[in-house]
Amino acid sequence: MLYPTLAVIAGFILLVWAADRFVLGASATARNLGVSPLLIGLTIVGFGTSAPEMLVSAVASWSGNPNLGVGNAIGSNITNVGLVLGVTALITPLLVHSATLRREFPVLFAIMALAILLLWDGVMSRLDGVVLLLGMLAMVVWMVRMGQQQQATECDPVEGCDPLHEEYAEEIPADMPMWQALGWTAVGLLLLLVSSRLLVWGAVEIAHAFGVSDLIIGLTIVAIGTSLPELAASVVSARKGEHDIAVGNVLGSNMFNLLAVLGLAGAITPAELPPEVFSRDLPAMVITALMLFVMAARPGGKHQVGRIGGILLLLAYSVYMVLLYLAAAG
């Protein structure tokens, strides 16, 4: 057990650092090429913070453990909302000003509905995976067009100027040399591959040693570990007053998780899903997303996830963890 445990710890540490370097390098490269900060934030940053989940899912499926990838995708979505935004809101109440973010909620729910519909037969097939990957492509195109439209209009007559553009402009490096940006991109991607392989091997070994299913390991240890980049980014952004980025990172990551992470798992290795996915995991994902929507996007209300909201999200996440513990112990 010593080596698998060390592999998981080392894999998590490398994964978080590699994801940060990859996002930094890719964002600086795009900005050097003249891409607007808003477009970079909506696409590259969202993609980069989900890169750990995508690579872990791909490696797990390639290694013959597709349910670990499925658990990682669903578990990361629950962790992102319940744990990441719960902790962030507890530290700093989150005001959600951006009209862009409020437009993303219906898209997130549509993606969740699509994923549930595809999985409803109890099988994650290659066709399901391909459909989800095509959905990811469509989402990226939508985000690019939305960002271009928002940049062109600059300010909405009702909502005012979107603070998301300014927040991304402050965060994305504008003076990094191209050689350095490309170097960080390559180093980050390489270490993401290495750390993903290390993490999957250690997690599978631990699961087998304790007789726990790959799904449970994906929903817990792996999901929490691969969500660490989102937690770090959201807390730092919130402390800086960049609340739209804090919430936007989670919304974008959850979309990528369902489309890219789940899609990769199915496209590489089809899998039969345990019934608990439908009775426990998918409902938990939908419930936490609905809680966030009610708190952050109430029509006519104050768009805020306050400390009480953070406590409620953490409580919901804790209840879910207890359910997983009872399932593993039983």
pLDDT at position 199, please?
82
Query: What is the token pair recorded at 287?
Result: 């419930």
* Residue 242 and residue 171 in contact, taking contact as beta carbons nearer than 8 Å: yes
CATH of the domain at 252: 1.20.1420.30
Asked whether the whole model's pTM tops 0.95, one would answer: no
Count Cβ atoms below 10 Å from residue 5 Cβ, excluding itself. Answer: 13
The residue range of the domain holding 253 is 2-329
Return the residue matching tokens 């006519």. Answer: 300
Angle 307-329/282-296 helices, nearest 10 degrees?
A: 180
Among left, alpha and beta (phi > 0; psi -120 to 50; other), residue 86 is: alpha
In the chain, the number of structural domains is 1
Distance, first Cα to last Cα, the chain? 22
* Phi, then psi, of 151 in degrees rounded to 5: -70, -35
* SS3 call for 124: strand
Helices (H), ranges, the chain: 2-32, 37-40, 46-49, 51-62, 66-79, 86-91, 99-119, 126-153, 163-171, 178-210, 214-217, 223-226, 228-239, 243-256, 262-268, 276, 282-296, 307-329
Alpha carbon distance 298, 195 (integer Å): 40
pLDDT tens for the chain, 330 residues: list them: 788 888 888 888 888 788 778 878 877 887 777 776 666 766 676 677 777 888 888 888 888 888 988 999 999 999 999 999 999 888 888 877 656 566 778 889 999 999 999 999 999 999 999 999 999 999 888 877 766 665 555 555 545 555 656 666 666 677 788 888 889 888 888 888 888 888 888 888 888 788 888 889 889 888 888 787 777 777 777 777 766 677 777 888 899 899 998 999 899 999 899 999 999 999 999 999 999 888 876 655 567 788 898 999 999 999 999 999 898 886
pLDDT at position 314, please?
95
pLDDT at position 29, please?
82
